[in-house]
Amino acid sequence: MTQAKTVALWDVAEFALTGPVLNHPFADVDLTATFAQGNRKIQVTGFYDGDDAGQPTWRFRFMPDRQGEWLYRTASAVAELDAREGAFTCGPPSPGAHGPVRVRNTFHFAHADGTPYYPFGTTCYAWTHQPEAMQEETLATLGASGFNKVRMGVFPKHYIYNENEPLHPIFERRPDGSEDFTRPNVVAFRHFERQVEKLMRLGIEADVIVFHPYDRWHYCDMSFEQDCAYVKYLTARLSAYRNVWWSLANEFDFLLDVKPIPQWDRYFHVIEEHDPNRHLASIHNGEPEVMFDHRKPWVSHVCVQNTEVKKTPEWRRQWGKPLVNDELEYEGDIPRPWGNISARELVHRFWITVLGGGYAGHGETFLHPDDLLWWAKGGSLRGESAPRIKFLRKLIEDDGRHGLTPLVDDGRWEFRRVSGARDGDVTFLYFGEHQPREWAVGLPKRDGDYAIDLIDTWDMSVTPIEKAPLPVSPALRQRGGAITGDRPEAAFGIRLPGRPHMAVRVKPR
Amino acid sequence: MTQAKTVALWDVAEFALTGPVLNHPFADVDLTATFAQGNRKIQVTGFYDGDDAGQPTWRFRFMPDRQGEWLYRTASAVAELDAREGAFTCGPPSPGAHGPVRVRNTFHFAHADGTPYYPFGTTCYAWTHQPEAMQEETLATLGASGFNKVRMGVFPKHYIYNENEPLHPIFERRPDGSEDFTRPNVVAFRHFERQVEKLMRLGIEADVIVFHPYDRWHYCDMSFEQDCAYVKYLTARLSAYRNVWWSLANEFDFLLDVKPIPQWDRYFHVIEEHDPNRHLASIHNGEPEVMFDHRKPWVSHVCVQNTEVKKTPEWRRQWGKPLVNDELEYEGDIPRPWGNISARELVHRFWITVLGGGYAGHGETFLHPDDLLWWAKGGSLRGESAPRIKFLRKLIEDDGRHGLTPLVDDGRWEFRRVSGARDGDVTFLYFGEHQPREWAVGLPKRDGDYAIDLIDTWDMSVTPIEKAPLPVSPALRQRGGAITGDRPEAAFGIRLPGRPHMAVRVKPR
């Protein structure tokens, strides 16, 4: 059998076994392997990977989370696959590898090595189903972009501007051309995981969408048993890739007639059973008012589609988990309202979401003579929002410690209208459509030596500004002269240009 | 006694009586007058108007709503004021007079003569309390502006940028300088109603705010009995002015600790008892989530302060009455989030509100060296939104028939994201932050000879455009090939410039 000898920390250790020729190798074999360091044992699930060389092949993959020697032993009812033992050595992580992303500080994320992770994702639903050359173009674009997460479907997408046939069917074809949903097409899965690995090397998380409604291949019509077998197979193949996130669905509510809630819970459980790494897992809604119950323990973070971005702090409080708004509408010009907002508006919604203590997702949908729209097919970006989002990401990462806490959590009503957030002793304000010429609310309450910068979120400029006196009439007397206590409660004020879409950063020198 | 001989339809017929010297002429006298045409009788309430010439004077006012001869007879426990009879003739309306505004078609307004009234109001809370010269400036500005309603308080306002003393105390001063809340200052009321009448001559509705929390004169501390006497006196004096609207409060919820809900209901009832013309009456909230129950029959229309303007159609459905959003934040640059949005944003919110089937209110709050801010003091306008709002008003009036019905009421999900409305066979679309290059949803379902215009809501340009083919892939096949029925259901499409803040008007030629 082939065997990995040395594997970098958080890389994929892959092992192969050959077995007997069986009528239904996908269904008739249960294979597990248990990896151990001393008494610590981790079980992974094996999967059938076809018989290219006439040799039926099973594989199992393991993501070592600790350096040193690992021993393993397989278990299977099939003699050739049972009780196979081996060992390998886990070395230091490859450059840039920080391990899988986990929830940190309730509302935020970090890699396994503690490096904070601030998701600034984009959307290319069907990029792995496009011609190879275009997939290479997509990877090149992503590598140069500021995005560190991609939402991508296992299944191809049938939708306007997405009429082309996918590279590979997801399941083996019968002689009549129909697909046998009990027999995954290993060629399709090998290709998909190769692309996931390329993203991993680029330091980009793969937000893998397991189901979606935009289908002409009858994948939506699979039985519950077929669904569960597919989810198990997908998890067995992918869970060793450190950059995988599980997105159970794109717009699950548009599938509720064929997949009711208990089935969705079961899909989450199947993933948990076969994913020893407990990758992040969530599910995405279509209608803003149809939310999955993200409080369920198998949902690691909240994924929403909702344009009311000023509600981000409210949603955060409601769910008590990290919040990623993956569809706050896309930059573009197509005749669908979810795909035609201006770049300025998308950048605006990003700032409001991020300073609301959440995270936002990008998408781009510009009409193209050959229907090459980034949001589904990838390729190259043509919009103006991506560089501004990269600029925002850099600002957040430069001062990132624990993640942003929205100032409205302090109870100041002003921050239901403008945006403000704090990370440790660094404060960000974003005024958006508001254009005050002087401001104080949310600025430090104790005076000191602060670096104060005016940030033009569109021009991407950062300009130092000085302290100014507190704005006029901080004390608002009313109701027969009683003090309402409506004071800025700040040690100093600032002067602003009176233009929209300005932000401010304040930090101790 | 003085007596009006001939009065124009919907003008003020005023009558005066002299009476005895009394210790408390405001409280000790009940005076009513009943006006009759045949068996039709209308009772008005008289009021004490001081004793300038040493002659204690009572007046009563009547707004004739029908031409011809009217007879009247007074009733009072005071002999000199009782059983006084007279008559006057009501002639044709003065030029431009259309009578008081009433609710029409559930969600809209019209004058008594049937002329549609589309409120495009502004806010000058304390303009009648500023120096006379500034009040003249305010009237000149209003006359030249596109606004046809002004929100204005009876009481002066104490707030930031509003520290100056009012022209007149609202009640008579005691020797110690304190005000006797049982004795209205007739000088103050005469002045206020003179300004209401000037607005009437300009064709501008006076949205009279009866109570508000921004007070240093202890008007908020008046007893419930004093409140009711004040409301009765105000109603007796003002209800004959056809352009009066009653706004029970600005931000009533900030007064709930001293004026609980049953008191507010009582104030509405006192107005109904003494206002035979049943002027429009509503009440304005501070916190968006604290709404008065506008379903109560004494509330004629819904007044809201709320920035979530895309919810306008929802609110309309919820309350089933005309909706006026008088505070969707103001154009300006002060350090208060409700008073510093850009002109573009305010114009944007106006379009969304109006195409949502509601109406919006303007305000302007730019910092001024002498604290002369339009929203409280009037004077002159310095912003950029007012001309764009005037432009919108003209578009709505040009094609106005029954009032706009939002297209989302037809159930098209697109109109929860973009705005569209219909009035008869005229359709308006507003794309706001959306910038499609092609569109069809909401356009006429039957083909025909239509005038189609592209409207730049900022540049205020109206440019004819041609029909275009329907956008690509109107039929979205999904879920194993089933048709979702997600078609534009339109007879033709249009091409758009792919810029934000565009609107479209379609009407039969």
pLDDT band, residue A473 (cuts 50/70/90): low
What is the percent of chain A where pLDDT is above 90?
Answer: 92
Q: What is the DSSP string of A416-482?
A: GTSEEEEETTEEEEE-TTB--SEE-TTS-SS---EEEEEEETTTTEEEE--EEPPPS--S-EETTTE
Strand partners, B33: B44, B74
Does the pLDDT value for residue A144 go beyond 80?
Answer: yes
Taking the CA of residue B45 and the nearest CA in chain A, the distance in Å comes to 31
| Residue B163 burial (CB count, 10 A) | 12
pLDDT in tens, B186-212: 999 999 999 999 999 999 999 999 999
- What is the interface pTM, i.e. ipTM, of the complex? 0.91
Task: With H, G, I as helix, E, B as strand and everything else as coil, classify residue A11.
Answer: coil
Alpha helices in B275-320 (DSSP H): 312-319
pLDDT in tens, B458-472: 999 999 999 998 886
Length of chain B equals 509
Q: Which chain A residue has its CA at the smallest distance from B437's CA?
A: A333
Distance from CA of A164 to the nearest CA of B (A): 13
Instruction: Give the chain B residue nearest A436 (alpha carbons).
Output: B333
Given a contact cutoff of 8 angstroms between Cβ atoms, the answer to whether A332 and A311 are in contact is no
Q: What is the mean pLDDT of residues B332-338?
A: 95
Number of H helices, E strands in chain B: 8, 34
What is the per-residue pLDDT for A487? 61
Phi, psi of B247, deg, nearest 5: -110, 105
- DSSP, collapsed to helix, strand or coil, labels residue B475 as coil
Would the CB atoms of A434 and B340 count as touching at under 8 Å?
Answer: yes
pLDDT of B53: 80
> Is the pLDDT confidence value at A52 over 90?
no
What letter represents residue B227's amino acid?
D
Q: Between chains, do B417 and A214 touch, taking CB under 8 Å as contact?
A: no
Contact in structure between A15 and A72 (CB atoms under 8 Å): yes
Distance CA B122, CA B22 (A): 42
Size of interface A-B (CB pairs under 8 A): 146
DSSP 3-state percent helix, strand, coil across chain B (nearest 5): 25, 30, 45
With cut-offs at 50, 70 and 90, classify the pLDDT of residue B479: low
CA distance B470 to B464: 18
Query: Is A458 within 8 Å of chain B by CB?
Result: no
Task: Please classify residue B128 by burial: count the beta carbons closer than 10 Å to its beta carbon, then call 0-12 exposed, 13-18 middle and 19+ buried.
Answer: buried
Give me the helices (H) in B291-360, please. 312-319, 343-355
Contacts of B135 (CB under 8 A, 6+ apart): B127, B128, B195, B378
Return the SS3 of B72: strand
Q: What is the pLDDT of residues A330-376, one digit of tens each?
A: 999 999 999 999 999 999 999 999 999 999 999 999 999 999 999 99
pLDDT tier, A19 (very low <50, low <70, confident <90, very high otherwise): very high
* A437 interfaces chain B, CB cutoff of 8 Å: yes
- Give domain limits for chain A: 6-91, 116-398, 418-508
DSSP string, B403-464: --EEGGGGT-GGGGTSEEEEETTEEEEE-TTB--SEE-TTS-SS---EEEEEEETTTTEEEE
The helix/strand/coil state of A168 is coil
Does residue A505 carry a pLDDT above 50? yes
- pLDDT band, very low/low/confident/very high, at A5 (cuts 50, 70, 90): confident
pLDDT category at B303 given cuts 50, 70, 90 is very high
Rounded distance between C-alpha atoms, residue B243 and residue B269, angstroms: 20
Residue with tokens 């599910």: A283
Nearest-by-CA chain A residue for B288 = A416
Output the pLDDT for position A480: 47
- pLDDT at position B474 is 45
Angle between helices B186-201 and B224-238 (to 10 degrees): 40
A213–B contact, CB cutoff 8 A: yes
Task: Give pLDDT, residue A477.
Answer: 47
Rounded mean pLDDT of B154-163?
A: 92
DSSP symbol at A170: S
In one letter, which amino acid is B361? G
What is the number of other CB atoms lying within 10 angstroms of the CB of residue B287? 13
Angle at B189 between CA B185 and CA B190, to 5 degrees: 110
For residue A187, the model assigns a pLDDT of 97
Split at pLDDT 50, 70, 90, the class of A481 is: very low
Residue holding tokens 């039969």? B508
Question: How far apart, in whole angstroms, are the C-alpha atoms of residue B254 and residue B171?
Answer: 23
Question: DSSP character for A221?
Answer: G
Instruction: Say whether residue A438 is in contact with chain B using an 8 A CB cutoff.
Output: yes
* Backbone φ/ψ region at B292: left (φ over 0), alpha (ψ -120 to 50), beta: beta
Report how far residue B299's alpha carbon sits from residue B292's, in angstroms, rounded to the nearest whole number. Answer: 10
Instruction: Calculate the alpha carbon distances from A97 to A89, A111, A191, A289, B369 in Å.
Output: 17, 9, 22, 38, 58
Please report the DSSP string for B147-191 in residue order: --EEEEESS---BTTB-SPPSS-SEEEPTTS-EEEEEE-HHHHHH
Q: Tell me the residues of chain B between 357 and 416 that have a Cβ less than 8 Å away from chain A.
A: 367, 414
Tokens of B76: 């009072």
CA-based nearest residue to B383, from B127, B147, B139: B147
For residue B473, the chain A residues in CB contact (below 8 A) are 160-161, 163
- Which of 1.10.150.20, 3.20.20.80, 3.10.129.10, 3.30.390.50 is the CATH number of B116-398? 3.20.20.80
CA distance linking residue A330 with residue A340, whole number of Å: 6
Per-state percent for chain A, helix, strand, coil, to nearest 5: 25, 30, 45
Residue A111 dihedral angles phi and psi, to the nearest 5°: -75, 165
The predicted model gives B174-197 an average pLDDT of: 97
pLDDT on residue B475: 44
The mean pLDDT value for B222-246 works out to: 98
Q: Minimum mean pLDDT among A60-69, A464-473, B340-349, B363-372: which range?
A: A464-473
What is the length of chain A? 509
Whole-angstrom distance, CA of residue B156 vs CA of residue B247 = 15
b (16+ CB within 10 A) / e for A264-298: beebbebbbebbbbebbbbbbbbeeeebbebeeeb
Chain A closest-CA separation from residue B487 CA (Å): 11
Q: Mean pLDDT score of chain B, rounded to an integer? A: 94
- The reported pLDDT for the residue numbered A53 is 80
Residue A19 Cα to chain centre, angstroms: 37
Domains B6-91 and B418-508 share a fold: yes
- Quick check: B178 contacting A, CB < 8 Å? no
Q: What is the pLDDT of residue A333?
A: 97
A-chain residue closest to B156, CA distance: A478
Among B290, B288, B368, residue whose Cα is nearest residue A417: B288
pLDDT score of B476:
53
Judge contact between B303 and B283, C-beta under 8 A: yes
A305 and A286 Cβ atoms separated by less than 8 Å: yes
- How many Å apart are CA B169 and CA B184, to the nearest integer? 9
Window from A453-462, A474-483, B420-429 with minimum mean pLDDT = A474-483
Q: Average pLDDT, whole number, for chain A?
A: 94
Task: Using CB atoms, pick whichever of B215, B438, B499 lies closest to residue A335.
Answer: B438
Q: Where are the alpha helices (DSSP H) in B172-301?
A: 186-201, 224-238, 261-274
Reported pTM: 0.94
The model's confidence at residue A427, banded by pLDDT at 50, 70 and 90, is: very high
Per-residue pLDDT averaged across A164-180, rounded? 96
Contact A335 B478 (CB under 8 A): no
A419 token code pair:
């945006």
Give me the phi and psi of B289, to 5 degrees please: -90, -5
| Tens digits of residue pLDDT in A83-111 | 999 999 999 999 999 999 999 999 999 99
Do residues B272 and B298 lie in contact, with contact meaning Cβ atoms separated by under 8 Å?
yes
Amino acid at A328: L
CATH C-level class of A418-508: mainly beta
CA distance B323 to chain A (A): 22
Tokens 């019509």 locate to: A221
CB B158 to CB A218 under 8 A? no
Confirm if B456 and B496 have CB atoms less than 8 A apart.
Answer: no
CA–CA dist A180, A183 (Å, integer): 6
The token pair that represents A119 in the structure block: 């998701």
Out of A216, A480, A493, closest to residue B220 by CB: A480
Band (pLDDT 50/70/90 cuts) for residue A471 is confident
Confidence band for A3, pLDDT divided at 50, 70 and 90: low
Q: Mean pLDDT check: name the lowest of B51-60, B279-288, B499-508.
A: B51-60
Q: What is the pLDDT of residues A246-274, one digit of tens each?
A: 999 999 999 999 999 999 999 999 999 99
Confidence band for B52, pLDDT divided at 50, 70 and 90:
confident
Q: How far apart are CA A118 and CA A423, in angstroms?
A: 13
The conformational region for residue A501 under phi > 0 = left, psi -120 to 50 = alpha, else beta, is: left
Tell me the per-residue pLDDT of B356-403, one tens digit each, with 9 for 90 and over: 999 999 999 999 999 999 999 999 999 999 999 999 999 999 999 999
- Would you state the pLDDT for residue A486? 57
B160's tokens = 């930031």
Task: State both tokens at A359.
Answer: 């995270």
Helices B385-398 and B343-355 pack at an angle, to 10 degrees, of 20
pLDDT of residue B483: 45
Chain B interface disruption, residue of A212, A259, A341, most B CBs within 10 A: A341
d(CA B467, CA B450): 9
Topology given in CATH for the domain delimited by A6-91:
Immunoglobulin-like (2.60.40)
